[in-house]
């Protein structure tokens, strides 16, 4: 009888797997605690509970999430709102369906010895900036400060920064782009102390824009079945994020278990998860319209060189999160 029951259970499991809805998620960057909620949802069975079979595809320096989405290589992607809106204006019909990150973790980290104590000291300095969509908030900030980014004495010189902190350590730049949960701590781990540094959080400078959100192709939202699938995905993902907030060390270990490169370390991921939890805190996945409008205003406030030239239409929807929260 026991063998018979086991066989029946296996059959039921196989049938359940066969009928699972497949979803592919494209991350914005490599496997790390920045994306812990998705790995937790996978590890803890939250996706499975919703009848989903989810594949998570890491990003990297050679991966453009929006191109993967446009090419059909993913059903949903993680991206920042500035780069998503810039892509929309260039013809990519993508829509924000959920916003797990409530706050921005972006900042400039400067060497105190470079003479930078406030934004007024940026003039004439070399500043490290990430590109690939991450440059938009920075360029808008410089425009608000009235600082050209052409390398002139009256402006700043922009150093196209790789995804490391070498330009600051080697004193090639007075300031570099960092995230509160990642590169700032790489600087500290390299031997500098907080007293050696001056930091400028975009949130504090009034130029913060929404970061990690979930995006899909607009035409897919015409299919009620796809909307339902995405509602299940968002519901399970947010369950993963809340679990990660409450169990940061365990969440970091789940991330490490999914890091096929072996590049991440336990101490760094645990610290990262602690900082990321501050950014997802207070979010149930629903895009806050006020936060969206603030981001749009910031991107359009770039003077003669705005990130986007007109108010976007149809760039976000609450349809998915409304269903997810029912």
pLDDT surpasses 70 at 302: no
Full residue range of the structural domain in which residue 274 is found: 19-103+210-324
How do strand 76-79 and strand 21-26 relate by DSSP bridges?
parallel
313 and 217 within one domain: yes
What is the CB neighbour count within 10 angstroms for residue 6?
A: 10
pLDDT surpasses 80 at 12: no
Q: Cα(194)–Cα(180) distance, rounded to whole angstroms?
A: 13
The pLDDT of residue 131 is 86
The pLDDT of residue 15 is 44
What is the CB neighbour count within 10 angstroms for residue 245?
A: 22
pLDDT in tens, 120-139: 999 999 999 998 777 888 98
Domain boundary among the residues 201, 228, 263 is at 201
The pLDDT of residue 11 is 43
Q: Cα(105)–Cα(156) distance, rounded to whole angstroms?
A: 23
271 and 298 within one domain: yes
189 and 114 within one domain: yes
317 and 215 within one domain: yes
116 and 97 within one domain: no
Q: Cα(214)–Cα(23) distance, rounded to whole angstroms?
A: 13
300 and 314 within one domain: yes
Structural domain contains residue 14: no
Binned at pLDDT 50, 70 and 90, residue 298 comes out as confident
The pLDDT of residue 220 is 98
223 and 97 within one domain: yes
Poorest-pLDDT segment among 15-19, 50-54, 191-195, 245-249: 15-19
Rounded to the nearest integer, the mean pLDDT of the chain is 92
* For residues 137-164, average pLDDT: 92
Nearest alpha carbon to residue 238 among 218, 214, 215, 254: 214
Q: Cα(105)–Cα(191) distance, rounded to whole angstroms?
A: 22
Calculate the alpha carbon distances from 27 to 78, 102, 154, 238, 299 in Å: 5, 18, 38, 15, 23
* For residues 98-126, average pLDDT: 96
Q: Which two three-digit tokens encode residue 33?
A: 């605690």
pLDDT in tens, 66-94: 999 999 999 999 999 999 999 999 999 99
314 and 250 within one domain: yes
* For residues 9-13, average pLDDT: 43
Share of the chain above pLDDT 70, in %: 93
The pLDDT of residue 227 is 98
The pLDDT of residue 18 is 54
pLDDT surpasses 80 at 3: no
Phi, psi of 322 (to 5 degrees): -60, -45
* For residues 154-172, average pLDDT: 95
The pLDDT of residue 13 is 46
Binned at pLDDT 50, 70 and 90, residue 9 comes out as very low
Higher pLDDT, 300 or 23: 23
Q: Cα(252)–Cα(265) distance, rounded to whole angstroms?
A: 10
Label residue 205 exposed, middle or buried (CB < 10 Å: 0-12, 13-18, 19+).
Answer: middle
Per the structure, the count of domains in the chain is: 2
Q: Which two three-digit tokens encode residue 262?
A: 């072996």
Q: Cα(72)–Cα(268) distance, rounded to whole angstroms?
A: 33
Q: What is the pTM of this model?
A: 0.88
| CATH number, residue 227 | 3.40.190.10
pLDDT surpasses 80 at 315: yes
* For residues 99-125, average pLDDT: 96
Q: Which two three-digit tokens encode residue 203?
A: 């949130």
The angle at the Cα of 24, spanning 290 to 182, to the nearest 5 degrees, equals 60
Nearest alpha carbon to residue 315 among 293, 300, 283: 293
pLDDT surpasses 50 at 55: yes
């Amino acid at each position: 009888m026991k063998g018979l029951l086991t066989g029946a259970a296996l059959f039921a499991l196989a049938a359940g797997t066969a009928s699972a809805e497949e979803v592919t998620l494209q991350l914005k960057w490599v496997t790390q605690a920045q994306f812990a909620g998705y790995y937790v949802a996978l590890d803890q069975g939250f996706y499975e509970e919703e009848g989903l079979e989810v594949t998570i595809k890491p990003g990297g320096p050679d991966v453009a999430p929006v191109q993967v989405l446009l090419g059909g290589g993913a059903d949903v992607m993680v991206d920042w709102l500035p780069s998503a809106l810039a892509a929309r204006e260039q013809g990519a019909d993508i829509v924000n369906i959920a916003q797990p990150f409530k706050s921005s973790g972006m900042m400039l980290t400067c060497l105190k010895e470079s003479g930078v104590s406030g934004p007024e000291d940026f003039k004439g300095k070399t500043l490290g900036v990430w590109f690939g969509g991450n440059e938009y908030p920075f360029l808008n900030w410089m425009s608000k400060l009235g600082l050209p980014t052409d390398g002139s004495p009256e402006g700043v010189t922009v150093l196209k920064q790789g995804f490391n902190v070498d330009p600051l350590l080697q004193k090639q730049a007075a300031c570099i782009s960092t995230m509160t949960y990642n590169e700032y701590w790489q600087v500290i781990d390299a031997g500098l102390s907080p007293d050696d540094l001056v930091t400028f959080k975009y949130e504090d400078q009034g130029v913060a824009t929404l970061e990690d959100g979930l995006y899909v192709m607009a035409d897919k939202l015409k299919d009620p079945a796809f909307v339902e699938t995405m509602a299940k995905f968002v519901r399970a993902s947010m369950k993963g994020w809340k679990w990660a907030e409450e169990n940061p060390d365990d969440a970091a270990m789940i991330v490490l278990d999914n890091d096929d490169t072996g590049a991440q370390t336990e101490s760094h991921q645990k610290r990262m998860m602690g900082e990321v939890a501050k950014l997802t805190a207070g979010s149930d996945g629903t895009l806050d319209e006020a936060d969206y409008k603030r981001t749009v205003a910031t991107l359009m406030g770039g003077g003669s060189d705005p990130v986007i030239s007109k108010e976007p239409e149809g760039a976000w929807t609450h349809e998915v999160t409304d269903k997810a929260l029912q």
